[in-house]
């Protein structure tokens, strides 16, 4: 039997780097964003239904994410329709991972875990966090978005203080070494629970 640990946090807080630490510590990691990329790629299960709804969104056999963003910006009904197509496919991908992995601890890297109610399917949730100033600096250092775009994303996400309050474990990502120490402590606790079950 495996233990399902949800991993969440807000943009720029070090969730992907922390997921990598869990992988290095012997966990299997399922990444929600990577699952969507697979579904949108050539041969992905989301390509045909999205092409049927929005023919211009599919280019050379894959869903064009930039085009999809334009469609969402132009039509307020588009996002809910996309979600009804994609969410069940993502859930099926996640379930296939859960049932096929031989690892003792399965980490589910899901940015909007609490927002989508995904925490109800987890044995526990770990939330990565960092102070707001560091978060903003990290995001803007990527060079992929403006301050305004960053703030728009934050508006769509649950405030980090609320996520922290709801989580079972907290991982401060101020330094890689500190994050690794916290991950190892969490895994030691979880593996004791598994051994005692």
Tens digit of each residue's pLDDT (9 = 90 or more) over 138-155: 999 998 888 888 888 888
> If pLDDT is split at 50, 70 and 90, which confidence band does 161 have?
very high
Q: Tell which CATH classification among 3.40.50.150, 3.30.465.10, 3.20.20.70, 3.40.50.300 matches the domain 1-27+104-197.
A: 3.40.50.300
For the segment 92-107, the average pLDDT, to the nearest whole number, is 95
Residues 106, 3 contacting (CB under 8 angstroms): yes
> If pLDDT is split at 50, 70 and 90, which confidence band does 58 have?
very high
Q: Has residue 9 got a pLDDT over 80?
A: yes
d(CA 156, CA 158): 7
Q: Which of 108, 139, 119 is nearest to 10 (CA)?
A: 139
> If pLDDT is split at 50, 70 and 90, which confidence band does 96 have?
very high
Q: Has residue 20 got a pLDDT over 90?
A: yes
Residues 192, 32 contacting (CB under 8 angstroms): no
Pairing of strands 58-59, 169-172: unpaired
Q: What pLDDT is stored for residue 145 in this prediction?
A: 86
* Tokens linked to 195: 């051994």
d(CA 185, CA 169): 10
d(CA 182, CA 187): 9
Domain spans, the chain: 1-27+104-197, 35-102
d(CA 24, CA 4): 17
Tens digit of each residue's pLDDT (9 = 90 or more) over 63-93: 999 999 899 889 989 989 999 999 999 999 9
């Amino acid at each position: 039997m495996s233990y399902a640990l949800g991993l969440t946090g807000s943009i720029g807080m070090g969730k992907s780097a922390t997921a990598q630490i869990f992988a290095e510590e012997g966990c299997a990691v399922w990444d929600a964003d990577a699952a969507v990329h697979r579904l949108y790629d050539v041969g992905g299960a989301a390509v045909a239904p999205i092409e049927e709804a929005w023919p211009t969104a599919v280019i050379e056999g894959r869903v064009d994410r930039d085009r999809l963003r334009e469609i969402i910006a132009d039509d307020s009904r588009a996002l809910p329709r996309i979600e009804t197509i994609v969410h069940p496919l993502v859930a099926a991908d996640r379930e296939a991972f859960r049932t096929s992995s031989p690892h003792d601890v399965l980490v589910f890297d899901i940015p909007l875990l609490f927002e989508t109610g995904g925490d109800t399917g987890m044995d526990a949730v770990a939330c990565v966090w960092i102070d707001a100033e560091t978060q903003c600096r990290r995001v803007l250092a990527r060079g992929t978005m403006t301050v305004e775009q960053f703030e728009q994303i934050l508006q769509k996400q649950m405030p980090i203080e609320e996520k922290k309050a709801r989580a079972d474990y907290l991982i401060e990502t101020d330094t890689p070494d500190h994050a690794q120490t916290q991950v190892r402590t969490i895994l030691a606790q979880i593996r004791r629970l598994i051994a005692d079950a």
